[in-house]
A and B are shown apart, each in its own frame.
Chain A
Amino acid sequence: DAKTTQPTSMDCAEGRAANLPCNHSTISGNEYVYWYRQIHSQGPQYIIHGLKNNETNEMASLIITEDRKSSTLILPHATLRDTAVYYCIVRVGGSGNTGKLIFGQGTTLQVKP
């Protein structure tokens, strides 16, 4: 499984875009990038995932570089409720997988008024 590296913490002003980077330089061709977040005292929440194309849903956008060695999660208009720990996780896709998520330390995003 590819190792991921994220900054320990980041700040963002309310209403501005939050750009959370993740480095996964050893990612292999069949590994997907998943993002979760965990708001204080809650269970983790799935946000988005991608393989090589950029993805967007109602929560966020995921930009994956062409060489797939890094990605950025973008929260377009951060609110105070987006304050959380954000985890970038790389896992092999396809059938027969365990679904075991391996969480690192993540990035603590503090959205400030």
Chain B
Amino acid sequence: DTGVSQDPRHKITKRGQNVTFRCDPISEHNRLYWYRQTLGQGPEFLTYFQNEAQLEKSRLLSDRFSAERPKGSFSTLEIQRTEQGDSAMYLCASSQGQKYYEQYFGPGTRLTVT
């Protein structure tokens, strides 16, 4: 079990640029979640997938954000036309079967928009 991995770990970008993050969940986990965490706050839910299907999206996920999980394995989160308010830690988690709330988190991708 290699755990959940995320790439890159850090990303600095200029306002208006597009960025894409990748998450590789634990291999047998069918659910994958994205959260966002700003400084001093707890993580906030963004969206989740069951296999390749995206089943729920938070209102935090504006139309500049898109997430995919094309083959039910890894997932990508893209932010278009980044804004300074997008600066945050983006966390990915996965879970197995019906253990929906026993989630394994990756180390996160820290995004800084300048």
Contacts and interface: CB of A to CB of B under 8 A. Distances in A.
Interface stretch (B14-22, B63-71, B78-86, B98-106): B98-106
Given A43-B91, A99-B31, A91 B101 contact: yes
Contacts of A101: 33, 35, 43, 45, 101, 103
18 contacts: A41-B107, A42-B105, A43-B93, A43-B105, A43-B108, A44-B91, A44-B93, A87-B42, A91-B101, A97-B101, A98-B56, A99-B48, A101-B43, A101-B45, A101-B101, A103-B43, A103-B44, A104-B42
A49 interface: yes
Interface residues of A: mostly helix, strand, loop or mixed? loop
Given A43-B106, A43-B107, A91-B101, 16 more contacts: A41-B107, A43-B108, A44-B93, A44-B103, A87-B42, A95-B98, A97-B101, A98-B100, A99-B101, A100-B33, A100-B45, A100-B48, A101-B43, A101-B45, A101-B101, A106-B42
Contacts of B55: 98
Nearest to A97: B100
Q: How large is the interface on A (under 10, 10 to 19, 20 to 34, 35 or more residues)?
A: 20 to 34
Most chain A CB neighbours (cut-off 10 Å) among B103, B106, B107: B103
A108 to B, nearest CB: 10
Nearest to A99: B100
Interface of A: 32, 34, 41-46, 49, 85, 87, 89, 91, 93, 95, 97-106
* 10 residue pairs, one from A and one from B, having the closest CB atoms: A103-B42, A43-B105, A99-B100, A100-B45, A44-B105, A97-B100, A103-B43, A46-B102, A43-B91, A91-B101
Nearest to B46: A100
B95 interface: yes
Contacts of B62: none
Nearest to A85: B42
Nearest to B44: A103
A45 B41 CA distance: 16
Given A100-B48, A102-B45, A103-B42, A49 B101 contact: yes
